[in-house]
Amino acid sequence: MQLAKVSYRSPQVGKAIAQSLQQTGFAILCDHEIPVETIQFVYQEWRSFFASAAKHDYLHDIHETNSQAGYFPMLAEHAKDYGIADLKEFFHVYQRQDLPTQISHHTWQLFNDLLNLAKEILGWIEIDTPQVFPDQLESLQQMIAHSPNHLLRILHYPPLTGSEQIGAVRAAAHQDINLITLLPAATHNGLQVQDLEGHWYEVPCCLGEIVINVGDMLQVASGGYYRSTTHRVVNPIGLETGRSRYSMPLFLHAHPASIISTTGLTAGTYLAERLQQIGILG
């Protein structure tokens, strides 16, 4: 599987990104305008946060149905239809919420930069897509207007200890729930994508690049024209087993009231069902 790497400065960037997302569900964007220094600084702050006991002060209440904000400890989530929990802990950042006291405004800067870029990319998709979206649905830009569900997820995959449950991996094979995902380069490799024949491929992503992928909501809204591609994060081997991995995807979500299918399915209903399936919503 060949993932397109496209420069943000290219006159054909929108068309190239849309084409790659349609063909593989993934694309890589380089030469974008989000400062690498901001990304690195945010990683460093959250690395310190996950290493501290203070993270437990922000523990998410699984019975809270109105928000999934806060800290989720190890083994809190599993992939849909996979009964073994992922080897990760994470923190959910939504707009208009308080951050941990030790986290600076740089996280908000990155959140807003990624969100604005994601909205721009969604615009490219809308411009460079044939008439596959049903007329009775809102435009993609209307779907995301005033959505409270855009999410920056800060992920920590701790070093392996050798005592992990058989079959446990850092992130089991899954598809994203949302419209599109933007992922600044993680601190270590491990992300893989699956093609239609079931083969797995490493997703190359270097510092300063952003991986873009299609989520299930876009697949549903486009009638399958854009495919939500299965991906995973594999366990490291050798010396890498003793190292943590950090990543921070931005998930662009439709407004809960937006209808994403001709059946009348709303984004809010779809999201709630999927969160229950992966153990995030009680």
The string of pLDDT tens digits covering residues 237-258 is 999 999 999 999 999 999 999 9
221-242 average pLDDT score:
96
pLDDT surpassing 80 at residue 207: yes
Q: Cα-flanking dihedrals φ and ψ of residue 55, to 5°? A: -60, -30
pLDDT surpassing 90 at residue 170: yes
In this prediction, what percent of the chain has a pLDDT beyond 70?
99
183-199 average pLDDT score:
96
Neighbours of 276 (CB within 10 A): 12
Q: Each residue of 270-280: pLDDT tens digit?
A: 999 999 899 88
pLDDT surpassing 90 at residue 204: no
Is 111 within the bounds of a domain? yes
Provide the token pair at 140.
């993609």
> Cβ distance 278 to 75 under 8 Å?
no
Is 17 within the bounds of a domain? yes
In this prediction, what percent of the chain has a pLDDT beyond 90?
88
**CA distance linking residue 188 with residue 205, whole number of Å:** 9
Q: Each residue of 145-162: pLDDT tens digit?
A: 999 999 999 999 999 999
Is 26 within the bounds of a domain? yes
Cα angle: 109, vertex 111, 115; to 5 degrees: 120
> Left (φ > 0), alpha (ψ -120 to 50) or beta: where does 157 sit?
beta
β-sheet bridge partners, residue 74: none
Q: Tell me the CA distances in angstroms from 227 to 22, 49, 274, one per residue in order.
A: 7, 35, 17
Where does the pLDDT of residue 167 fall: very low under 50, low under 70, confident under 90, or very high at 90 and above? Answer: very high
Q: Each residue of 93-118: pLDDT tens digit?
A: 999 899 999 999 999 999 999 999 99
Where does the pLDDT of residue 282 fall: very low under 50, low under 70, confident under 90, or very high at 90 and above? Answer: low
Residue 186 has, within 13 A of its CA and on its CB side, a CA count of 23
Is 112 within the bounds of a domain? yes
Is 156 within the bounds of a domain? no
> Cβ distance 117 to 182 under 8 Å?
yes
Round the CA-based radius of gyration of the chain to a whole number and report it. 18
Specify the pLDDT at position 58. 95
Is 155 within the bounds of a domain? no
- Reduce the DSSP state of residue 60 to 3 states and report it: coil
Specify the pLDDT at position 65. 66
Domain count, the chain: 1
CATH number of the domain bearing residue 116: 2.60.120.330
- 133's CB contacts (< 8 A; 6+ apart) are 139, 140, 221, 222, 223
pLDDT surpassing 80 at residue 45: yes
pLDDT surpassing 90 at residue 132: no
Residue span of the structural domain in which 96 resides: 5-130+172-277
Is 141 within the bounds of a domain? no
pTM of the shown model:
0.96
Q: What is the pLDDT of the chain when averaged over all its residues?
A: 95
Specify the pLDDT at position 280. 83
CA neighbor of 243 nearest in space, from 178, 163, 161: 161
Is 68 within the bounds of a domain? yes
Q: Cα-flanking dihedrals φ and ψ of residue 185, to 5°? A: -50, 130
Specify the pLDDT at position 47. 98
CA neighbor of 110 nearest in space, from 11, 38, 26: 38
**CA distance linking residue 179 with residue 158, whole number of Å:** 28
